């Protein structure tokens, strides 16, 4: 079984400040990990993903995340927040085999607010 | 390119009525997923299909819910009879179930269902 825990349902930062959204996962197999973003009244869009290889992955809009197996974490960061980053962010884990392959389990989401 | 297309975008109905939600996946994608999003429960996977065949329907809440995929370009999610607790946003997503794309879901804009 797989699960994802996002620490903090709401995060508030000032424009230009560092963004850090936390995600921890549980998986009995090597996971694929994802961050998705959801803007109001829209579906989810992929920000970035980790499958294999380099543990620091870069995504769209200046976001990046680092896979740390020892900490079972996949935190999302952005050096400088922009007003347009305000949205809800979801961490997700996918199995890599059997019926779990390609099937995503999402965290509860973190709403990011950016203040001027 | 057209993304995942869902209809209707909004549906308001009365308890006991039948509701049918529709989804057209991205052409060439061979996996299709139905998710439900609520404030209380977050994003829940209801069912997913691979090559038009239901693979995992363990997330379907109860017998009132049914889903079909008669061909590669169309799927429906039906609720009969509907209840107020079914009120949610229902998302359809599709992808190519092949490494490394597995988990890289493309979401529609969702169908917001309100059951009075």
Give B61→chain A minimum CA distance, Å: 17
Per-chain mean pLDDT for chain A: 91
Q: Under an 8 A CB cutoff, do B102 and A102 touch?
A: yes
B55 closest CB neighbour out of A51, A94, A99: A99
Strand positions, DSSP E, chain A: 3-7, 10-14, 19-26, 32-38, 44-50, 56-58, 64-68, 73-78, 87-94, 104-106, 110-115
Per-chain mean pLDDT for chain B: 91
Q: At CB < 8 A and 24+ separation, what contacts does A113-116 make?
A: A113/A10, A113/A11, A113/A12, A113/A13, A113/A86, A114/A12, A114/A13, A114/A14, A114/A15, A114/A81, A114/A82, A114/A83, A114/A85, A114/A86, A115/A12, A115/A13, A115/A14, A115/A15, A116/A14, A116/A15, A116/A83
**Residue among A37, A41, A44 with most chain B CBs within 10 A, to mutate:** A44
Question: For residue range A66-110, what is the model confidence (pLDDT) as tens digits?
Answer: 999 999 999 999 999 999 999 999 999 986 665 565 678 899 999
Q: What is the pLDDT of residue B55?
A: 87
Question: For residue range B16-34, what is the model confidence (pLDDT) as tens digits?
Answer: 999 999 999 999 998 899 9
Q: What is the pLDDT of residue B95?
A: 87
Question: For residue range B29-57, what is the model confidence (pLDDT) as tens digits?
Answer: 988 999 999 988 889 999 989 899 998 89
For residue B47, the chain A residue with the least C-alpha distance is A103
């Amino acid at each position: 079984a797989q699960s994802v825990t996002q620490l903090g349902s709401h995060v508030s930062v000032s424009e230009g400040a560092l963004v850090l959204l936390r995600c921890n996962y549980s998986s009995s197999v090597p996971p694929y990990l994802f961050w998705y973003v959801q803007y109001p009244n829209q579906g989810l869009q992929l920000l970035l993903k980790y499958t294999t290889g380099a543990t620091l992955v870069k995504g769209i809009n200046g976001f990046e995340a680092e896979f740390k197996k020892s900490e079972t974490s996949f935190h999302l960061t952005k050096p400088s927040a922009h007003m347009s980053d305000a949205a809800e962010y979801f961490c997700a884990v996918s199995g890599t085999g059997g019926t779990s392959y390609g099937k995503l389990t999402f965290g509860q989401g973190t709403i990011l607010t950016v203040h001027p | 390119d057209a993304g995942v297309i869902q209809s209707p975008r909004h549906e308001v109905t009365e308890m006991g009525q039948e509701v049918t939600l529709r989804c057209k996946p991205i052409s060439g994608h061979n996996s299709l997923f139905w998710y439900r999003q609520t404030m209380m429960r977050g994003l829940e996977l209801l069912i997913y299909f691979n090559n038009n065949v239901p693979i995992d329907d363990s997330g379907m809440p109860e017998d009132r819910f049914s889903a079909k995929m008669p061909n590669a370009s169309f799927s429906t999610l039906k609720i009969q009879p509907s209840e107020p607790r079914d009120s949610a946003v229902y998302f359809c997503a599709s992808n190519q179930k092949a490494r490394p794309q597995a988990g890289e879901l493309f979401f529609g804009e969702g169908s917001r269902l309100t059951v009075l």
